[in-house]
Amino acid sequence: MESVKPPSLDRENSSGQRPRMADDPFALFDAWFAEAKVAEINDPDAMAVATADELGHPSVRMVLLKDHGPAGFIFYTNDESDKGRQLAGNPNAALLFHWKALRRQVRIEGSVKRVGTGDADNYFATRSRESQLGAWASDQSRPLDKRETFENRYEEIKHRFEGQSIPRPPHWGGFQVIPRVMEFWQDRPHRLHERRVFKAQADGSWSEGLVYP
């Protein structure tokens, strides 16, 4: 796939002035995400999720963004996984999108809350049957003695639900990251990058400014 060159943030408008900076980080994210869906060969919705336990020990992994908007950024996982247990004890997270083809990053920091059971049920129903079976068969993040054990459990679950719909496991659900900080990073020559930072205000608005690269 041919890479897409991102538009220059320095480009002047017809009056010879730089365009006004956006005041809505979600609109800017939507615009960048739309370009990433065209430019990225694999998984433009992939994001790193960083969490920490009660002692502050950090952990990070890649997941897929499943929904987003002004209310937050949503992903789904096993509640008993490392990230699920860490978020239960410390409901804060950081996200990172890295779109290499566009030479852009978006960093998000915020609090986390659980997705409602109805929304989780609706999303689970859209997953492939194989993925649904895997959610039942996997004790995510727990020790596994050998691959065959997992594969045998998968076959047992497959037989258990044969000929019927597969409900969402009670230990599987979604998390919504509610941003308090959103940073948009754009590559520039000679590492003179541009970093635009939005911070949530008490009245629901966003402040915006630049920080040094």
Among 129, 188, 191, 195, which one carries the catalytic annotation? 191
This prediction's pTM: 0.86
Q: Which domains are delineated in the chain?
A: 25-211 (2.30.110.10)
Task: Determine the Cα angle at 30 with ends 25 and 32, to 5°.
Answer: 95
pLDDT per residue as tens, the chain (213 positions): 333 333 333 433 434 444 445 579 999 999 999 999 999 999 999 999 999 998 999 999 999 999 999 999 999 999 999 999 999 999 999 999 999 999 999 999 999 999 999 999 999 999 999 999 999 999 988 899 999 999 999 999 999 999 999 999 999 999 999 999 999 999 999 999 999 999 999 999 999 999 999
Residue 8: its pLDDT value, please?
39
Is 191 a catalytic site residue? yes
